[in-house]
Amino acid sequence: MCGIIGIASFKDISKEILASLKKLEYRGYDSAGISTINNGEIVENKCAGKVSDLEKLIKKTSLSGNIGIGHVRWATHGAPNQINAHPHSSDEVSVVHNGIIENSSIIKKELVEKGHVFKSQTDTEVITHLITENLKKMNYLDSVFETLKKLEGSFALGIIFKKFNNLIVGARRGSPLAVGYADKEKYLGSDSYALNSMTKEVSYLDDGDICVLTKDKIDFFDKNKKKIEKKVHKLTQEKESYSKGNFKDFMSKEISEQPEVIKKCINEYLDKIRKEINIVNFPIDPKKISKVNLIACGTAYHACIVGKYWFEEFTNIDVNVDVASEFRYRNNKIKENELYIFVSQSGETADTIAALEFCKKEGAKTCAIVNVTESSLSRLSDLVLPIHVGAEIGVASTKAFTGQILVLLLFILKIAKIRNEIKADEYSNIIKDLENVHSHVTLILNNKKSIEELAEDFINIKGSMFLGRGLSYPIALEGALKFKELTYLHAEGYPAGEMKHGPLALVENGMPVIVIAPKDRFYDKTISNMQEVIARGGKILLISDHAEEITTSENVWSEIRLPQIHKFLSPFLSTIPLQLLAYYVALKKGNDIDKPRNLAKSVTVE
């Protein structure tokens, strides 16, 4: 959700800033901009559109400078146009911002009364004017501290100054910010991914921290202006995850990586000789856990619902699942021996982090299931379980979902084993079958041509429904989410048993209804619900691993037959055709696959 880059160097940095902005485009892609200090002046270039548009603009202006900041925007205040694009500059200062300033209209009113003239509709511009005002009476660092005191809301900031032209100031409250180190060059970035190609050594700012970068060093201050030290972390993620290779887009690459990702993740957690799951250091002794709360947003929330079904299947623990944006504002009561599990690909989702912070404040024990292990969520949690899927760049989450449910399952099985709530043979059977999941996923991927052909029939539909029961219910939700975010076509995910309580009214002749019905204990019931849809003219795409023919199969429009698998492992397989379906429909409609409209990868505003 918006991306920030800043570079303080001994050499010209405009090309490096542009290259980093391209990598950051997954966070926001409705406008982009860059400011440098050039011959003692702030030079600002920005435009609506993508970084490639900014690049064209900059070619015409021959931008140079050793100190610079850049930004890609995901609009919150003000339309995505050139004026609202960041940076926002005055004669004295230029600012890039991620987050939301909640009291911007009050501050703006005060500044307008003092004679400041605003150009944009953004909340960010108040920061530029506040610093400019403060600079009249104080030095650059004090002017930033004073400005931050007035701001309510969340921010990560990158600031450069005309008069203090060898430095960049960064500040963090709520929105993540990292710095990176290289010889005679220092970096500021909204995430370590932006810095990864330039350095492997990074530090993370905590809430309230401010940093000052020059080409030679980085100084850190806490919110009381006290100088502080920061730990330097080594970045670990492999470089090849950041390239599309021979794939058309990141999403198709990430879908196709799933067999490897599953194998790798199982390798990380499973002792293959003892057939034992290696998870230790539980924040609460598993035998004492009285309740588990799973909290996340979007796709990760759907993974949590899958987790709830598994928890209930394998343990006697009470389970609650929450969308983070709801959880954080409910009147929650944290009790002893309740475990709070947060699931997130990025580890930077504002609502999920706020929910975690609330739990920590109330003394809860927490665990994070994350992809980006250097993220805020990881750093705040008592136990971190990485999903080991490599960088996920496509905005629509695919391999991360698979990794999230895999780690959830391993975690749940381990807890069930320690609590003696799962039979030894069931535990070992599931583990044995889990080790084969990757080969089943490969079979489904090998059959993607047939899903590509099916996709043709979805291009002009009015709307669709995705139905499932039990473990297939969250998969239906996830299938519908993937479908709507990529294809821009309406899709509803529903528990199949709920259809007759309302949504059946939507079904009309020819409406596509995707039914996920693996051969588990819900199979017959789901097929009955399917018949009710067929009777109203629904056009069924059945996703199932059933072996026998369905008696009324002539009414099923099309089928995707899945390989047979342990009844509790069906989510790993049924998810894949739904990802492919959304992908191919979007591709045929000519939509931007990796950057669907109005969305961003990392949702760092609430």
Instruction: Establish if 485 lies at the interface with ligand F6R (CB under 6 A).
Output: yes
- Is residue 298 within the footprint of ligand F6R (CB under 6 A)? yes
Asked whether position 349 contacts ligand F6R by CB under 6 A, the answer is yes
CA gyration radius, the chain:
25
Query: Which helix (DSSP H) or strand (DSSP E) does residue 86 occupy?
Result: none
Q: Which two tokens stand for residue 39?
A: 């011959």
Regarding 603 and contact with ligand F6R (CB under 6 A), the answer is yes
Convert residues 433-472 into a mask of x (bound to ligand F6R by CB under 6 A) and - (unbound).
----------------------------------------
Q: Is 601 a catalytic residue?
A: yes
190 is an interface residue for ligand F6R by CB under 6 A: no
Q: How far is the CB of 344 from ligand F6R (least distance, A)?
A: 3
For 153-203, what is the HEC assignment?
Answer: EEEEEEEEECCCCCCEEEEEEECCCEEEEECCEEEEECCHHHHCCCCCEEE
Min. distance of Cβ 576 from ligand F6R in angstroms?
15
Which residues on adjacent β-strands are paired with residue 296?
Answer: 323
Is residue 344 part of the contact set for ligand F6R (CB under 6 A)? Answer: yes
Instruction: Tell me if 403 contacts ligand F6R by CB under 6 A.
Output: no
In the chain, the largest separation of any two C-alpha atoms, in whole Å, equals 83
* 192 contacts ligand F6R (rule: CB under 6 A): no
CB 394 to ligand F6R: min, Å: 8
Q: Does 484 participate in catalysis according to the annotation?
A: no
Instruction: Give the separation between CA 176 and CA 417, rounded to whole angstroms.
Output: 37
Asked if 322 is part of the footprint of ligand F6R (rule: CB under 6 A), the reply reads: no
The answer to the question of residue 352 lying near ligand F6R (CB under 6 A) is: yes
300 in contact with ligand F6R (CB under 6 A): yes
CB neighbours of residue 305 within 10 Å: 20
CB of residue 409 to ligand F6R, shortest distance in Å: 17
Would you call 458 helix, strand, or coil by DSSP?
Answer: helix
Which of these ranges, 48-56, 292-300, 535-543, 547-555, lies near ligand F6R under the rule CB under 6 A?
292-300
Q: How far is the CB of 19 from ligand F6R (least distance, A)?
A: 24
Question: Which residue out of 414, 417, 539, 601 is catalytically annotated?
Answer: 601
When the beta carbons of 473 and 483 are compared against ligand F6R, the nearer one is: 483
Q: Which residues contact 98 (CB under 8 A, 6 or more apart)?
A: 1, 2, 3, 4, 155, 156, 175, 190, 604, 605
Q: Which is nearer to ligand F6R, 300 or 410 (CB)?
A: 300
Residue 55 lies near ligand F6R (rule: CB under 6 A): no
Q: Are 600 and 26 in contact (CB under 8 A)?
A: yes
For the bound state, the minimum distance from the C-beta of residue 511 to ligand F6R, rounded and expressed in Å, comes to 24
Rule CB under 6 A: say whether 346 interacts with ligand F6R: yes
CB 296 within 8 A of CB 324: yes
Residue nearest to ligand F6R (CB): 298
What minimum distance in Å lies between the beta carbon of 481 and ligand F6R?
A: 6
Sign of the Cα torsion 136, 142, 144, 145 reads: negative
In the list 190, 293, 299, 604, the residue contacting ligand F6R (rule: CB under 6 A) is: 299
CA-nearest of 168, 159, 72 to 602 is 72
CB count, 10 Å around CB of 124?
27
* β-pair partners for 340: 293, 366
Opening angle at CA 451, ends 447 and 455, nearest 5: 165
DSSP 16: H
Minimum CB distance to ligand F6R smaller for 94 or for 376? 376
The verdict on 258 binding ligand F6R (CB under 6 A) reads no
Name the one range near ligand F6R by CB under 6 A: 20-28, 57-65, 158-166, 298-306.
298-306
Binding residues for ligand F6R, how many (CB under 6 A)? 15
Nearest to 519 by CA among 544, 483, 555: 544
Annotated catalytic residues are 2, 601
Q: Give the binding site for ligand F6R (CB under 6 A).
A: 297-300, 344-346, 349, 352, 396-397, 481, 485, 602-603
